[in-house]
Structure 1
Amino acid sequence: MNTKVTLEELKSQMPFNIGKPNDGFAQYFSGKSFLEPLSTEQVKIFNVTFESGCRNNWHIHHAK
């Protein structure tokens, strides 16, 4: 069974625009992510969308 969702299918399900490829932070993800600004006024607010199977490598939790 193929569980991957196409970008077009994802766009049709999202309440916000998906945005542009998040190339500036690509090093932190194992797949593609997209960044859409919702507000750039006093406080910057962005919507981040991840393609199916994308993993976040932002930080590591070391075992104790």
Structure 2
Amino acid sequence: MTPDRLIDLIELCRQVCLSRSAVYERIASDPTFPRIIKCGRKTLFSEVQVQAWIQERIKEGEAQ
């Protein structure tokens, strides 16, 4: 199992191919989207959660 690491919003946007505003829309409307982890003023995300979310999107695409 790969150890988890925290990624910033820029890296999250790159990995999920969404803009910053689209990410915040997903956070507000999609309960399956990775949750924000606040560390001081930084907005971070669990890379393991991000990759799991991406894999679910892939499975959904294959099922259609």
Same fold (TM over 0.5): no
Higher helix share: 2
User: Highest CA radius of gyration, 1 or 2?
Assistant: 1
Range into which the TM-score falls when normalised by the shorter chain: under 0.3
TM value normalised by structure 1: 0.28
TM value normalised by structure 2: 0.28
Higher strand share: 1
